[in-house]
């Protein structure tokens, strides 16, 4: 154990996004030692208990695992705000939808030809 005010986390890092892996496959592990002052350590332990986590280590793993979801949510919310600011929605015609579909198909075809 390190000095007072430090927490050791035996952090299990997922091999695939969001911790998915075939049943029975062993996880790679890495030990991370964080040096926290007493106030930060106490806060982390209290929040872990309040969140229903067995330990601060479990809470930290959940925070790391769920970060991509939180980032995606921020992007979606910002996109929604921009859409709302742009004014009221207007109905699209069948021709407009067909044009969007043609452009998407053309773009995909170009990208496949490049790769």
pLDDT of residue 102: 96
Q: Is the pTM of this model over 0.85?
A: no
Q: Which domain holds residue 83?
A: 6-114
Note whether residue 58 is domain-resident. yes
Mean pLDDT of 41-55: 91
Q: How many domains is the chain partitioned into structurally?
A: 1
* Residue 61 CB neighbours (<10 A): 19
Q: Are 41 and 4 in contact (CB under 8 A)?
A: no
Give the DSSP letter of residue 59: H
103 vs 105: CA distance, rounded Å:
5
pLDDT of residue 22: 52
Mean pLDDT of 66-87: 93
Give the DSSP letter of residue 51: T
Mean pLDDT of 102-112: 93
Note whether residue 82 is domain-resident. yes
Give the confidence band of 21 by pLDDT, cuts at 50, 70, 90.
low
Note whether residue 65 is domain-resident. yes
Greater confidence, 25 or 82?
A: 82
């Amino acid at each position: 154990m390190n000095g007072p005010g430090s927490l050791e986390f035996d952090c299990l890092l997922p091999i695939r996004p969001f911790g998915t892996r075939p049943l029975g496959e062993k996880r790679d592990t890495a030990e991370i030692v964080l040096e926290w002052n007493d106030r930060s350590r106490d806060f982390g332990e209290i929040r872990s208990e309040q969140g229903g986590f067995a330990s601060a280590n479990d809470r930290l793993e959940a925070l790391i695992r769920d970060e991509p979801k939180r980032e995606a949510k921020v992007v979606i919310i910002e996109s929604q705000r921009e859409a709302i600011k742009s004014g009221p929605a207007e109905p699209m015609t069948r021709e407009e939808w067909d044009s969007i579909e043609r452009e998407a198909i053309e773009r995909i075809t170009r990208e496949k030809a490049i790769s």
